Structures are given as C-alpha cells and as structure tokens.
A and B are shown apart, each in its own frame.
Chain A
Amino acid sequence: MRMGMYSIWVLEYCWVPQAPKGLTVHGAFNQGTVKLPWSYVLIKGGGRVIMVDVGYNHKDYGAVMADSFGVQNWRASSVVLAECGVKPADVTDIFITHAHFDHMGGTDDFPAATFYIQERELSKWIWAMSLQRRFRWLMGPTDPGDILRVVDLARDGRLVCVDGDREDVLPGIDLRAAFDTHTWGSMYVHVRNDRKRPSSDSYVLAGDLVYTYENLTGPDAGDPQFIPIGLAAGSQTNLLLSSQAMLDAVGGEVRRVIPIHDEKLGEIFPSRVTTQGLTLCEICLGDDERS
C-alpha cells in the first residue's frame, strides 16, 4: 500500500441487517435485502484528525432505531474511534456530507471540532419547510434537534458554511458540491494524498451519493453503467453526473470512490472485525501510520 499524507479508515458504528436492495440501487425492488453498514470516515495526517460525518444521535433515537428499524450493534464514537487510537475530543475538523439524521446527529460528541456543511443544505431545508404540508416527504430524515445543535456550533464559531466547491479546505483536501442530488446541498470529500492537482493518489469519500460500488458499475462490471441510489431529493440525473465527477477525480479508478454503506468495502480494502463485531476498513495509510 502506497504511503501518503493522510491515513483513511471507514469505521462501521452499527448496521441494518436487512435493508431493501431497492434503497441502495434504484430499480432493484424485487431483489431482496442487503446488510447495510452505517459508517463514518476517519482521516488522520498533517497534524489534523478529520471525520466525514458523525452518525446519528443515539441518546434520543437509539431505542427507536433498534426496536423499529432493525439497527443493530450501535457503538459510541468513543469506542469506535478508539480502534484507531483516537478520542472524540482529538477530532479537529468534520465534514458533514448532508444533513440527514444518520450523518449529522452526533455533533455533540466532538467538542473541539470545526464543522463544515454546504450553506445550501441548510437554506433549502428551510425552504422545504415553507412548502405546504403535502410536501413533507422532502423533510423526511432531518431532525430539528440537529439544527438546534448546529446553531450552537455557529454561535461557538465552530461552523463553516461552504458555498459550492472549496479547494484545499485543508492541505490536499477539496470539498466538492453535488447540488440537487441525494439532497439539495450534498457534498463529497476529495482527499489528494500526493497533494497534486490532478492527483494520481486520491480518494473520494462519497457520503450518500453512492451506497455501493454497484451504483458506479451497474450489475455488469464488464459493461459498466451508472445506476443511482434509491433516494434523491434532487434528481437521479444529477446523481449520475456526480458519479462521473467523483470517478473523474480519482482517475477513473472505481475502488477509490468510497461508498461507506457497502459491505464489500471490507473485501476490497484491508479490514478487520473489532471486538465489538464492527468492521474497520483501512483505505490507505499515511507516512507515519502503522497498519
């Protein structure tokens, strides 16, 4: 494995044993269920400890998620991050790919971090709420409590609202907007481990723009096609265009676009199962990191 500036791990923090496959791959409505890991990403290097998304608010919704939605084996960020020798208080920067409860609910756990989110994700959320009640599907998996916590982050000076792309938000890391896709203000994170542009050693942390590699290849990798995920507040077309943009960013190498909900990630990258039964995937290691 080549060394670079940053180490990247995908850390499972719970899973859903039976998610309808049609959620992950649009059109697969009669293809049964798949195990759906829920994960976030840890990036270390250059004196920074970075996360992409922070999971859901277990304190408020843990019981509901377990009892009614089949979420299993949730573990706190303190436990999950400890597998990589990191404490939540060590985290310096957090990129929120979109404002759904399972990506943004855990902000309270990271007292020292600065959070980055697309301004459009918040402004369109407010717009959606101003529509008639019959449009409430648009508001689905968003939690008012998350927004209240974000207000506190803003007042503490720990919230950065990004407007579109932001290159080198940290050295070698670009935030790329993917507007009107899964959500209105989704973004993905492009880590250029060689710090070059274009990069020959980079990874894209895709958030929910893809759930599985199948979204990038279709069912026949020999004759690839993009197939969108099952849910878009924006458009499926934009999801396909963002898939192309993410692939372009990594030189067309599919495995470098990281779908955090894909169980196969553990087969593609070095991985292990922790004592808590959660999968830890080692995407790449930085110069000063040991496997």
Chain B
Amino acid sequence: MARFEAVSGIAFGPGLLTPSEVLDDLPATAVGVLGMSIGEIDDATTAYVLAIRPAFNLVREGVSQLAGLMVLAMVGARNEAAHDILERICHEQAEAQDLIRRQAVPNRAVHHHRHLAQAGKGLDRSLKAAAMGINRADPASGETIMKPLRAAYQHLQWATGALPGFEVVALSQGCCSAHASWAREAK
C-alpha cells in the first residue's frame, strides 16, 4: 500500500479508491492468462502496473516503428525521416530500459516483468543491427534485425497475457468493434 501511494499519490482505504477504480482506465480486455482480473490485483501489483506501463508502451511503439521502417526500406520507398526516427526510437528505448531495470517487481508481476525485459532486449538488438544499415538487398542483414524484433513482439504479447492493464493493439479504438460495455451487456 505504502509503495503504491508513493508511486501514484493515490491512497486506498475505507471511503477511498480501490485498486480497480484506480485502474479504471485500463482496457476492459485486460485479463491475464493467469486468470487475474483488474479487481483482484493487490496494491503492490497495481503500483507496478501503473509504473511500468510507460516502459511497455515505449517498447511497443519502438517495435512498431522499426517494423514500419523496415517495410518502407524493403520496398524501396522514400523515407527521408528514417534516420531521425531511428535515432528517436533508440533514445526512447534507452528510457524504457532504464524504467524496466529500476522498477521494483512484486511477486505477482515477476512473470510480466521477465517478458517485458526480454522484449526490451530484443528491440535493443534489432536497433543495434538497424543502426548498421537496413540493406534490402541483403536478406541476412534483414534477418539480423527481424529475428530479435519478432521475438520482442512475441514477448510483448506474452506480457499482455501475464497481467491485466496492457495491450498490444488498442482494440477498444477499433471502429468495427462493439464497445466493450455494449458487448458485456449483450452477454
């Protein structure tokens, strides 16, 4: 409890917010494979979720952007901003790695943290390879980038399944999706 308050500045207790209320903005889809729902999360794990989400998002965005750069490079598209984008991903990735490294990890979040750390490492390896140049004519160099990038994405997916509160795709923003609350009512 104390650690959660330290992180969030939000206090729990009689008449105060519950963890599930604090996490009310989390996607309704977020129920981990461990069967844990938002309402079941203990305070320490709640604090972890809130604190680590920025790192998760940075890694997710980094994976997406590098994949996008790869597509454009592979088809020979003009992309004058590629160098700047790559530089920014590297910068943000360093920030994410720092967040992941220094985050205290409660017991129930160990599984999640392990996958997120692996995702970060995979992206880091991809970025280092990409910094050497993306050569579309050289399949081997492409694979040096893509192999750890695919692994990073896979770890991100596993991380979303390990704890509620994380999503790789913002499905709730899908124009064709029934809003989650409608779907629940329909059930």
Interface residue ranges, A against B (CB under 8 Å): 16-20, 23, 33, 36, 38, 60-61, 64-65, 67-71, 100-102, 119, 122-123, 125-127, 129-130, 133, 136-137, 139-145, 147-148, 150-152, 154-155, 159-161, 182, 208, 229-231, 261
Cα A20 to Cα B57 with chains together (Å): 29
Are A20 and B169 within 8 A (Cβ)? no
Are A20 and B178 within 8 A (Cβ)? yes
Cα A61 to Cα B139 with chains together (Å): 30
Given A16-B177, A148-B149, CB of A61 within 8 Å of CB of B77: no
9 closest Cβ contacts across the A-B interface? Answer: A140-B173, A70-B183, A154-B74, A144-B64, A141-B174, A231-B175, A126-B68, A147-B67, A68-B29
Closest B residue to A64 using CB positions: B29
The one of A60, A68, A144, A151 in contact with B180, judged by C-beta atoms closer than 8 angstroms, is A68
Residue B170 interfacial (CB < 8 Å): yes
Cα A231 to Cα B179 with chains together (Å): 14
Cα A106 to Cα B175 with chains together (Å): 18
Contacts of B169 in A (CB 8 A): 61, 101, 141-145
Residue B171 interfacial (CB < 8 Å): yes
Q: Count of chain B residues with Cβ under 8 Å from any Cβ of A?
A: 48
Cα A61 to Cα B177 with chains together (Å): 13
Closest B residue to A129 using CB positions: B65
Contacts of B69 in A (CB 8 A): 126
Closest B residue to A38 using CB positions: B176
Are A69 and B177 within 8 A (Cβ)? yes
Cα A18 to Cα B184 with chains together (Å): 10
Are A230 and B186 within 8 A (Cβ)? no
Contacts of A119 in B (CB 8 A): 72, 75, 77
Are A102 and B174 within 8 A (Cβ)? yes
Contacts of A208 in B (CB 8 A): 175-176
Are B174 and A20 within 8 A (Cβ)? no
Are A129 and B178 within 8 A (Cβ)? no
Given A20-B179, A144-B64, A148-B150, CB of A123 within 8 Å of CB of B72: yes
Residue B142 interfacial (CB < 8 Å): yes
Are A123 and B79 within 8 A (Cβ)? yes
Are A147 and B71 within 8 A (Cβ)? yes
Are B68 and A159 within 8 A (Cβ)? no
Are A122 and B68 within 8 A (Cβ)? yes
Residue B117 interfacial (CB < 8 Å): no
Are A155 and B142 within 8 A (Cβ)? yes
Contacts of A127 in B (CB 8 A): 81
Residue B102 interfacial (CB < 8 Å): no
Contacts of B79 in A (CB 8 A): 123, 126
Are B178 and A100 within 8 A (Cβ)? no
Contacts of A122 in B (CB 8 A): 68, 71-72, 77
The one of B74, B85, B139, B182 in contact with A20, judged by C-beta atoms closer than 8 angstroms, is B182
- Residues 8-41 of chain B: 1 if any A CB is under 8 Å from the residue's CB, otherwise 0? 0000000000000000000011000000000000
Can you list 9 residue pairs at the A/B interface with Cβ under 8 Å?
Answer: A65-B177, A70-B183, A102-B174, A126-B69, A130-B88, A140-B173, A147-B67, A147-B68, A154-B136
Cα A47 to Cα B68 with chains together (Å): 33
Cα A89 to Cα B70 with chains together (Å): 26
Are A155 and B180 within 8 A (Cβ)? no
Instruction: From B65, B85, B149, B156, name the one whose CB has the most chain A CB atoms within 10 angstroms.
Output: B65
Taking the nearest CB of chain B, how far is it from the CB of A260, in angstroms?
A: 10
Are A133 and B64 within 8 A (Cβ)? no
Given A64-B29, A64-B171, A141-B173, CB of A150 within 8 Å of CB of B71: yes
Given A141-B171, A143-B168, A147-B71, CB of A123 within 8 Å of CB of B77: yes
Closest B residue to A120 using CB positions: B77
Closest B residue to A37 using CB positions: B176
Cα A47 to Cα B178 with chains together (Å): 38
The one of A68, A123, A136, A159 in contact with B170, judged by C-beta atoms closer than 8 angstroms, is A136
Closest B residue to A233 using CB positions: B175
Closest A residue to B82 using CB positions: A126
Residue B153 interfacial (CB < 8 Å): yes
- Residues 93-133 of chain B: 1 if any A CB is under 8 Å from the residue's CB, otherwise 0? 00000000000000000000000000000000000000000
Residue B157 interfacial (CB < 8 Å): yes
